Structure formats: structure tokens, C-alpha cells
Amino acid sequence: MNTFFILLLVIVILLVIYVAAGFRVVPQNNEGLVETLGKYTRTVKAGFVFIWPFFQRIRRVSLALQPLEISKYSIITKDNAEITTSLTLNYLVTNSYKYFYNNTDSVESMVQLIRGHLRDIIGRIDLNEALGSTSRINSQLSKAIGDLTDIYGIRVVRVNVDELLPSPEIQRAMDKQLTADREKVATIKKAEGAAKNIELTTKAKNDALVATARAKAEAVKTQANADAYRIDQLQASLAKASDGYFRNQSLDSFNHLAEGPDNLVVVGKDEMSNLGAVPAIKKVWDKSDDKK
């Protein structure tokens, strides 16, 4: 009898231990996949859960947002240039059953899908366009992925192309091209500066020549005006002189001629009276010089 009670007590204790071992806790923001003898039975939410030990097991799946970095890999652009890219993304599990049972590695399948779409996007554009259009590539990649990852029970919340780097050979060629472009711009600027300097120098010389010519023209004009004024004064003075004055001047002229070594002078009758105008003209001309 005592043996029976002892055996019964042992069985009760084992049952209590067995039942107690079946209680599980699913943490917050997780789901539990319950399997009975290896077959999916049900999905349980976060909290206190009971399963039958040895016959059932529970697999926990996190529903929290997960960050992921996709390591660098090479892509060929439309113009056959090789570039290296790396990605970062955030994803979360939307269907724990699909995530765990429909694929042996849902995360790796998602990564391969994203890589394939990125290769397709960059493969349709040139190198320069790819290097300068990171934000547009991000937008196109997000649209291309869309709900395709739903078959893995995953939703990509954000995907970002962190960097696009050309191969070392292309980078060296780009550096040389950039240096050549800078030297070209510097040469053009230097030539433009020299041309501008020549233009300004030539303009200054031309302006000086024009100013000199104008000054000379003004001087000639002033001299011509002065000569014209003297001639006008001479004509006015001669017009005011009387005939007797010219006769006296003619006699003086003959006297001066007679005093010279060559005292033989032959003139016409009409020219004799005009000789008196010569000294008169000289006097008027000398007076006008004195006034200047």
C-alpha cells in the first residue's frame, strides 16, 4: 500500500513537472510558431503560452524592424563601366509563417532580389548618370521592390544606396580628365586675359593717337584762324591808306634800291606805284605779330 502511494506521488510530481515544463513566454514584438511532432500547428502571440513538452515545440520569430547592410559588389553600367556599390536597408517580418517555412533563408533571398533589381536599374544608365543620380536610383529601387518580398513574409521599409564607386582604372581616368579640364579652363582664362590686355592697350594707344591728332588739328585750325585774322587786318589797313601814302612809300623804296650795290631797276609804269605797298604791308604784318 505504501509502495502504491509512493508510486502515485512520483507520477503526480512527474506530471506537475511535465505540465510546468510546457509553459513558455513569447516576448513582446515576437510571434511563436507551434509545431506538433514537427508539423506547424498554430501561431501564437506574445505572452504566456502552453505547449506539450516532447510533442510540441515553439519557434520564435521577431517582428521588430531589422537593419541590414549588403556588402560591396560590382555592377556594370550601360557604357560598360564597372562600379562598386553597397546598400543598407531596414526590413520587418510581416508573416512569420512565410518567413520561416516558405524559404530556407528569406533574408538572403530578399538580398538577392534587391541586388538583381539594382543591377537592372544601373545597367540601363551611363556611368556619369549613375554617379550623379543616387537619390533617383534609391527611389526606383524602392518602387521596383514594392511588395515582391511579401512572398518571403518580409516588407522592406527603407533601402538606400550608400555609395557608388568606379573601379580604380576608371577613377584614375576620371582624375586625369578632371585635371585636363581644369588646365584647359585655366589656359582659356589666361588667353582671354591676354587678349583683353591687348585690347585695352590697343584702345589706349588709339585713344592717344586720336587725342594727338585732334590737338594738332586744333593747333592748325588756331594758326589758320590767326593767319586769316592777320590777313583781314592787313587788307583793312591797306584799304584805309591813301594814294599819297603809297607814293611816298614808292619813293622810299626806290631810294633804298638806289643805295644798294645793284642800283639799276627796270619796272613798268604801273608797277612803280605798287612798290609803295610792299613796305606798308610789312609794317602792318609786323604790328599784327606784336599784338600776338
> Is residue 246 located within the same domain as residue 285?
yes
Low-confidence ranges of the chain (pLDDT < 50): 268-269, 271-272, 275-276, 278, 280-281, 284-285
29 lies in some domain? yes
Domain count, the chain: 4
Reported as a single tens digit per residue, the pLDDT across 201-256 is 888 788 778 778 787 878 777 777 776 777 666 666 656 655 555 555 555 555 55
> Is residue 54 located within the same domain as residue 79?
no
- 3 state DSSP class of 123: coil
Its domain, for residue 204, covers 178-235
Helix (H) or strand (E) holding 53: none
173 lies in some domain? no
Ranges of beta strands (E only) in the chain are 23-26, 30-36, 39-44, 47-50, 56-62, 66-76, 82-93, 154-166
- Of 44, 62, 80, the last residue of a domain is 62
118 lies in some domain? yes
Reported as a single tens digit per residue, the pLDDT across 16-28 is 888 888 898 999 9
> Is residue 58 located within the same domain as residue 73?
no
> Is residue 197 located within the same domain as residue 259?
no
Q: The pTM is what?
A: 0.54
- Of 235, 256, 281, the last residue of a domain is 235
CATH number at residue 152: 3.30.479.30
| The pLDDT value given to residue 275 | 47
Cell numbers given for 250: 614808292
171 lies in some domain? no
Question: What phi and psi values does residue 219 have, to the nearest 5 degrees?
Answer: -65, -45
> Cα 285–290–292 angle (5° rounding)?
100
> Is residue 185 located within the same domain as residue 158?
no
Q: Which residue has the cell 546598400?
A: 87
6 lies in some domain? no
| The pLDDT value given to residue 128 | 82
| The pLDDT value given to residue 234 | 63
